[in-house]
Structure 1
Amino acid sequence: MDYDELIHEALTTSFEGWDFAVFHGRIGYDGDLPWDYEKLVREHLPEAASLLDLGTGGGELLASLGPLPPRTVATEGYPPNVPVARRRLEPLGVEVVEAGGRPLPFPDGSFDLIVNRHETYDPREIRRVLTEGGTFVTQQVAGHDLEEINAALGGPPHKDPDWNLATATAALTEAGLDVTWSREASTTTTYHDIGALVLFLRVVSWQVPDFDVDTYDARLRALHADMERGRPLRATAHRFALLAR
């Protein structure tokens, strides 16, 4: 497809929940993280009678983790994802709450286990709604994630470039939690065609906050020309994970 066809496809392709299968073969991921978030969560499920999943997306990952604790609740702050998550999770006995802000809409000491993949959170709220001895498991996207995309487009930087393992650990410690394990790592993400990049930026709208194809037309066309010549756009994905009690 030519440039205009790829852009049209990217702007009209439907995207539901948080399923990135649509990018298969178009975005490449070089290297694995040295931890497995799903495994981290599974290791703590047997000890939990209650579970809170913050920012469940379409509920894809949570639904795969069964059997779930007797009381399992998921939050989702992006309104289009809420009905998707409810269709997937409510048949499994999971309550889905539309919530993305703070404070969390739960009483003190509500959950033995709180899990969070790539969702913002307030450390004080995590401490408040955890039971005594409860566990918080999170994997986060660091502030400098994929910054090569922003540079290639000449766009603004991330909203919170100082978000990293050190600042997250300090904030949780200040809130009264003990961080018992943590890791951070970087991998390479490769965008092979301009349509995949534009669709990605539609979905991950916070990467380039003011993104639209008209504003960035010249830069997008230049990237497309590079990709057509066999020079894909490579960017560094920054992740960190931690356990806190």
Structure 2
Amino acid sequence: MNFDSVEGFSGWDFSYITETGRMASGLLSWSYGSRARILMNEASSMLDMGTGGGEFLSYLRPFPPSICATEGYQPNVKIAKERLEPLGVKVKSFAEDTKMPFADQQFDLILNKHESYSAKEVRRMLMNGGDFLTQQAGGTDCVEINQMLGVPLNADFADWDLNSAVAEIKENHFDILFQQEEKSPQRFYDIGALIYYLKAIPWQIPDFTIDKYQTSLNTINQMILTKGYFEVLQHRFIIHARAI
């Protein structure tokens, strides 16, 4: 089998396996980016939560007059600052979702793509009438990987879905303007692409090593050689909420 390292992985960029067609994801019925752009056109101050290396945010220009971004994974903070601060984005690191480094009602738009958050803290930072747009990976995301490797889903997040997120957001003084939840296929076309993916997202299989899961990886590799790919289901949901 051809195993890849993640030495070149930085920020939140999977182009090494997506741009080469080694991993591909199915389409959703919504576009988070398009919805974000529309909201940004009307915003005067915004926050992008969990910006990674700033790759996605950098594509959403032009920015509102005041814009900040956060990143909690320390290796990404330097990358995000180098990419975003020349564009006028203030990048800040943080340690806890419940203690964000911003003032009350500082923003009229908060974006959050695949980042954890405290709905109470998001509401604190938003002005009355401000918008919160989040796309999340649900608790059963790519569960087929866990099943093949014999690893249970993280019990803390297994029930994370649209209904639980909407309930929490409503409890913190928001109106829900849009909500949608779907599962779409994601395919790995060689075993090295799957290994690269698992090394880059350690929360899927926290103790992942090639040696420990060699037998299961061999089984998946045979599936790929026979069928052409290994398919899993991405669990995604999106919420657009307004502070009241």
Say whether the fold is shared (TM-score over 0.5). Answer: yes
In the TM superposition, residue 210 of structure 1 has moved relative to its aligned partner by: 1.9
C-alpha contact (below 8 Å) 2:36/2:133 kept by paired residues: yes
**1:68 is matched with which residue?**
63
Provide the aligned C-alpha RMSD in A.
1.3
Aligned with residue 144 of structure 1, among 129, 140, 143 = 140
Change (3 A) 1:12 1:97: closer
In the TM superposition, residue 145 of structure 1 has moved relative to its aligned partner by: 0.7
State the TM-score, normalizing by the size of structure 2. 0.94
CA distance in 2, matches of 1:100, 1:66: 27
CA distance in 1, matches of 2:170, 2:101: 23
In the TM superposition, residue 78 of structure 1 has moved relative to its aligned partner by: 0.9
Structure 2: 5+ residue stretches without partners: none
CA distance in 1, matches of 2:115, 2:68: 15
- Equivalent runs, 1:43-54 vs 2, <5 Å: 43-54=38-49
State the TM-score, normalizing by the size of structure 1. 0.93
CA distance in 1, matches of 2:7, 2:77: 19
In the TM superposition, residue 147 of structure 1 has moved relative to its aligned partner by: 0.2
Aligned residue identity for 1:56: T
In the TM superposition, residue 100 of structure 1 has moved relative to its aligned partner by: 4.5
C-alpha contact (below 8 Å) 1:55/1:100 kept by paired residues: no
- Equivalent runs, 1:12-161 vs 2, <5 Å: 12-24=6-18, 25-30=21-26, 32-102=27-97, 103-159=99-155, 160-161=157-158
CA distance in 2, matches of 1:60, 1:93: 15
In the TM superposition, residue 12 of structure 1 has moved relative to its aligned partner by: 4.9
C-alpha contact (below 8 Å) 2:6/2:200 kept by paired residues: no
Q: Which moved more, 1:227-236 or 1:205-214?
A: 227-236
Structure 1: 5+ residue stretches without partners: none
In percent, how many aligned pairs have the same letter?
42
* Structure 1 runs (4+) greater than 4 angstroms displaced: none
In the TM superposition, residue 177 of structure 1 has moved relative to its aligned partner by: 1.1
CA distance in 1, matches of 2:29, 2:231: 20
